[in-house]
Amino acid sequence: MNDKVIVITGASSGIGAATARVVGRRGASLVLAARREAQLQAVAADSGPRAFAVVADVTKRADVEALVAAALRRFGHIDVWINNAGRGITRPVAELTDEDFDEMMTVNVKSALYGMQAVLPHFKERRRGHIINISSVLSRLPFASFRSAYSASKHALMPLTANLRLDLRAEFPEIHVSSVIPGLVGTDFGLSAKHGGPDSRQLPNPQPVEEVAEVIADLIEHPRAEVYTRPIYKQQVAAYYAADDVATLESLPPWVASKR
């Protein structure tokens, strides 16, 4: 990846930090963005000699546009833009407030929209580039009702990603637009969720975050539209949408397990 300049949002922890370490150690030049400066600088220091930290709040369009400008000043071009910033929530549908729902859409959808729109003119000028949006298996499978608004936000992100890919396909075939679809990952995501929640690392069978980072690194090297971080997730999605009545599946694990 010595010739790649990669921007990663939400890079101070979790999937973003792990991805920075994996691709940085393979030689990529990195622009890492997050709000928490100390944590972000620590990740940059551990992600190879060409990792550059930019403190930014990607829920603000101006900050995202400034991030593009900072990356171009530093490295002259951008090859890959990873919209990874996001947050969970622990609250069922009946208890959601306006503020709950608005925050999920702002953090998990609008931040990615800002990133896509901000970097796209540069990619069109170069006629190549790769946008990667980090989604979730909860965008397609309602495993966890307490993640209701998070699931809704990730569901919204999926067609935005696909629609942009379709819009670019004819004129800009070398601009790739991809979704990464992880399931439960062993990070502090659960503890950081709005209204608290279970530690993702203590739930059954979390995927090591390093495995997810390796999937993302492979996607950068071999672009494709969608990638599940474990094959079983793709199988579960296919079974769910092929069912005559999804309610039948929702009475079985893993749906029933999420109610405990």
**Residue 122 within any structural domain of the chain:** yes
Q: Please compute the mean of the pLDDT values over residues 126-148 and round it to a whole number.
A: 96
State the pLDDT at residue 122: 98
**Residue 250 within any structural domain of the chain:** no
Phi and psi at residue 224, in whole multiples of 5°? Answer: -155, 170
**Contact 52/103 with Cβ under 8 angstroms?**
no
Give the confidence band of 260 by pLDDT, cuts at 50, 70, 90.
very low
Q: Please compute the mean of the pLDDT values over residues 117-138 and round it to a whole number.
A: 98
Task: Compute the mean pLDDT over every residue in the chain, rounded to the nearest whole number.
Answer: 95
Q: List the CATH number of the domain containing 60.
A: 3.40.50.720
Task: Specify burial of residue 140 (Cβ count, 10 A radius: 0-12, 13-18, 19+).
Answer: buried
**Residue 99 within any structural domain of the chain:** yes
What domain count does the chain have?
A: 1
DSSP state for residue 107 in the 8-state scheme: I
Whole domain around residue 92: which residue ranges?
Answer: 5-235
**Residue 208 within any structural domain of the chain:** yes
**Contact 100/89 with Cβ under 8 angstroms?**
yes
**Residue 254 within any structural domain of the chain:** no
State the catalytic residue, choosing from 150, 228, 233, 241: 150
pLDDT of 72 strictly over 90: yes
**Residue 258 within any structural domain of the chain:** no
Signed CA dihedral, 73, 74, 80, 86: sign only: negative
pLDDT of 258 strictly over 80: no
**Residue 121 within any structural domain of the chain:** yes
**Residue 260 within any structural domain of the chain:** no
State the pLDDT at residue 257: 57
State the pLDDT at residue 256: 72
Active site residue 241: no
